[in-house]
């Protein structure tokens, strides 16, 4: 294998359990986003647009859709003989094996994979954020700082800081302190879970961490604090731009709806670098004679006969006559038949809602998750169903 300056390791094995039924059967990076995309598209496109041609994708939780979606990376021009995209699931070897125990463990178990490219630097990213970033600029910063590790950080509102790994820096952007989810945060610089390591430093740290019996094998909780105590040089790269974690129903919903703003902060129309996606074969969408569409995103393959207001429609969605969709996200290939009213709802992929249903009915009680209703993929909602707002509807499991 030719030597690489930097390769990327993309952590895509998490369950994303706070996305409730949206991730019951698929991994979070494979969840549909913005009509046309899946969450992992943003990280993969960033890699390609930053000139990284070797990406290891670490998978673990319900990987079937993710594997078939990512394939050998063709959609992102990552099918290459001298690198390219490789799916790295947990595996066994002569000493046994088992599941990845944490983010650091997942990388540790694939040291051989990294070794074969003998890179100078390793970029660690995850597949569950919506953002556009040029990693090559971060690498340039890493080099001028002569750092061992560079952590990409972003300013977050002080009130939310305790949800993140918080970084305290000096005037030269050196990290003085790193605390994972502090109760009393000392700054509002949050780690974005994006790290550039000198390969030698990473390797040594992972081996030491694996030997430590009490470690949770996590980059934020274990590796970074360990390197801090070793007085390694950790730098903070301040990222400016849109970056959104889509880990909860509310943040997922909000990040989608952000795209509908008049002047979106993250404008998929104005980015001059492509966001690549593995799109299926669909014809242009059709808008019927009585259709009304306002403030919405509509993807190929849709047939819209009813009203769609302030909503996002994925591939191949069908909206029947007399149906009104409001403030909702309809995931690929779902079907809302005639005379329905769907409000502030995330409708799962391939779900069918039969005629005369009302989804997201307002109640007197305080609804959970800001009143967002969620229906799992492949569900079927029978005729005339009324579903209250804030409900999470799982598909009945076959015993």
Partner 1 sequence: MRKVNGIISCNYEGIHSRELSPHRPLAATMVGGRYRLLDFALSSMVNSGVTTIGVITPEKYRSILDHIGAGKPWNLDRKNGGIYILPGSEFGLFSQGKKFLMADLQRNVEILERSSVEYIIVSGCNQVMNVNFTPVVDKTADLQADICLIYKNIKGISADEASGQVLTLAADGSVLDIIMNPDAAGSKEPRPWFIDAFVIKRSLLLKMTDGYSGHGNMDITQIIQRNIQRLKVQSYEHKGYLGRVESLRSYYQCNMDLLNHGVRHELFLGENKIFTKVKENPPTKYGAWSQAEDSIIAGGCTVNGKIERTVLFRGVQVETGAVVKNSIIMSDSYIGKDSILENVILDKYTYITDRSQIKGKAEEPLLILDRRMKLIHREKEREQV
Q: Where along the sequence are the contacts to partner 1 (CB under 8 A)?
A: 34-36, 268-269, 272, 274-277, 279, 281-301, 308, 312-313
Question: Which C-beta is closer to partner 1: that of 120 or that of 321?
Answer: 321
Residue 152 Cβ vs partner 1, minimum distance, rounded to whole Å: 23
| Cβ-based neighbour number of residue 37 at 10 Å | 21
Cα–Cα distance for residue pair 128/153, rounded to 1 Å = 16
Q: What angle do CA 178, 156, 164 make, to 5 degrees?
A: 40
Residue 399 Cβ vs partner 1, minimum distance, rounded to whole Å: 33
> Is the separation of the CB atoms in 38 and 3 below 8 Å?
no
Residue 144 Cβ vs partner 1, minimum distance, rounded to whole Å: 24
Question: Which C-beta is closer to partner 1: that of 64 or that of 286?
Answer: 286
Question: Which C-beta is closer to partner 1: that of 34 or that of 73?
Answer: 34
| Cβ-based neighbour number of residue 33 at 10 Å | 23
Residue 197 Cβ vs partner 1, minimum distance, rounded to whole Å: 31
Cα–Cα distance for residue pair 244/239, rounded to 1 Å = 12
DSSP string, 73-136: SGGGT---TTSEEEEE---EETTEE-S--SHHHHHHTTHHHHHTT--SEEEEEES-EEE---HH
Which residues on adjacent β-strands are paired with residue 267? none
Residue 358 Cβ vs partner 1, minimum distance, rounded to whole Å: 24
Question: Which C-beta is closer to partner 1: that of 77 or that of 254?
Answer: 77
Question: Which C-beta is closer to partner 1: that of 9 or that of 346?
Answer: 346
Q: String of b and e for 289-327 (b: at least 16 CB within 10 Å)?
A: eeeebeebbbbbbbbbbbbbeebbbbbbbbbbbbbbbbb
Question: Which C-beta is closer to partner 1: that of 36 or that of 343?
Answer: 36
Residue 13 Cβ vs partner 1, minimum distance, rounded to whole Å: 27
Residue 319 Cβ vs partner 1, minimum distance, rounded to whole Å: 13
Residue 370 Cβ vs partner 1, minimum distance, rounded to whole Å: 23
> Is the separation of the CB atoms in 21 and 348 below 8 Å?
yes
Here the tokens at position 103 are 């983010």
Question: Which C-beta is closer to partner 1: that of 319 or that of 393?
Answer: 319
Q: Count the alpha carbons within 13 Å of 62 in the hemisphere toward its beta carbon.
A: 14
Closest CA to 167 of 248, 125, 225, 223: 225
> Is the separation of the CB atoms in 233 and 146 below 8 Å?
yes
Question: Which C-beta is closer to partner 1: that of 274 or that of 363?
Answer: 274
Question: Which C-beta is closer to partner 1: that of 269 or that of 396?
Answer: 269
Residue 52 Cβ vs partner 1, minimum distance, rounded to whole Å: 18
Cα–Cα distance for residue pair 25/377, rounded to 1 Å = 8
């Amino acid at each position: 294998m030719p030597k690489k300056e930097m390769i990327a390791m993309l952590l895509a094995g998490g369950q994303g359990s706070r996305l409730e039924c949206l991730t019951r059967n698929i991994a979070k990076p494979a969840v549909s986003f913005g009509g046309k995309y899946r969450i992992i598209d943003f990280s993969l496109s960033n890699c390609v647009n930053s000139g990284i041609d070797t990406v290891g994708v670490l998978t673990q939780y319900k990987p079937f859709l993710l594997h078939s979606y990512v394939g050998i990376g063709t959609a992102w021009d990552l099918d290459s003989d001298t690198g390219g995209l490789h799916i790295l699931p947990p595996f066994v070897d002569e000493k046994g094996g088992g599941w990845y125990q944490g983010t650091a463990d997942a990388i540790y178990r694939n040291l051989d994979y990294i070794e074969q490219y003998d890179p100078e630097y390793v970029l660690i990213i995850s597949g569950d954020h919506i953002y556009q970033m040029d990693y090559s600029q971060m690498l340039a910063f890493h080099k001028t700082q002569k750092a061992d590790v560079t952590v990409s950080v972003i300013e977050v509102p002080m009130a939310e800081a305790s949800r993140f790994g918080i970084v305290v820096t000096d005037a030269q952007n050196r990290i003085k302190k790193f605390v994972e989810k502090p109760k009393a945060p000392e700054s509002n610089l949050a780690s974005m879970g994006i790290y550039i390591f000198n390969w030698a430093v990473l390797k040594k740290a992972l081996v030491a961490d694996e030997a430590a019996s009490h470690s949770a094998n996590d980059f934020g909780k274990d590796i970074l604090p360990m390197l801090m105590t070793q007085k390694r040089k950790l730098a903070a790269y301040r990222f400016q731009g849109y970056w959104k974690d889509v880990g909860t129903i509310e943040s997922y919903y909000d990040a989608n709806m952000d795209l509908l703003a008049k002047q979106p902060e993250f404008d998929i129309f104005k980015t001059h670098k492509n966001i690549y996606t593995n799109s299926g074969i669909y014809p242009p969408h059709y808008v019927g004679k009585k259709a009304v569409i306002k403030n919405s995103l509509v993807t190929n393959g849709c047939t819209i006969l009813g009203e769609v207001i302030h909503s996002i429609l994925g591939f191949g969605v069908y909206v029947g006559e007399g149906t009104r969709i409001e403030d909702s996200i309809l995931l690929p290939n779902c079907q809302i038949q005639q005379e329905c009213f769907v409000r502030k709802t995330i409708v799962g992929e391939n779900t069918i809602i039969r005629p005369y249903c009302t989804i997201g009915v307002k109640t007197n009680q305080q609804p959970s998750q800001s009143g967002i209703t969620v229906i799992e993929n492949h569900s079927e909602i029978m005729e005339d169903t009324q579903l209250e707002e804030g409900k999470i509807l799982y598909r009945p499991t076959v015993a």
